[in-house]
Amino acid sequence: MEHGQERDHVARPTLPWRTDRHTQCGRTADDGSSVISVNDLQARIQRDGHERTVETICTTCWDTSRDAARWESNPIGVVAREAVRAGIGSREPSSRPEAFGSPGNSES
């Protein structure tokens, strides 16, 4: 990968009732960045190996996607992760854009 080249991001599992899409690192998936699925990431690891793949993926997406729950196999884990990201169960709601509408968010 060339120095300064944009890295791919990994899509976060989408909840069936939500239309917004985000990456594992919290970016909006529609912001123009290259976004791949967790399945695409796994295929890339199989094809290119861990060392090469890690150089092409956003560091935060890489760290979080390895253990991320998938809706098909662990829907409770996906919902739990979204709840934590939105600040539910903590004293301070998240300042992340995807937390819009969470308790304590003045924009809701």
Give the pLDDT of residue 108.
41
Establish if 3 belongs to a structural domain: no
Q: How many domains does the chain have?
A: 1
Residue 43 confidence (pLDDT) above 80: yes
Please report whether residue 30 resides in a domain.
Answer: yes
Supply the pLDDT for residue 49: 95
Query: Range of 57's domain?
Result: 9-99
Answer yes or no: is 14 within a domain.
yes
Instruction: Please report whether residue 106 resides in a domain.
Output: no
Answer yes or no: pTM beyond 0.85.
no
Alpha-carbon distance 75 to 52, whole Å?
Answer: 30
Q: What is the widest separation between alpha-carbon atoms in the chain? A: 46
Share of the chain above pLDDT 70, in %: 78
Across the range 85-99, mean pLDDT stands at 61
The whole-number average pLDDT for the span 32-47 is: 90
* Residue 11 to residues 4, 28, 75, 76, 93, Cα–Cα distance (Å): 22, 9, 16, 18, 23
Three-state DSSP at 26 gives coil
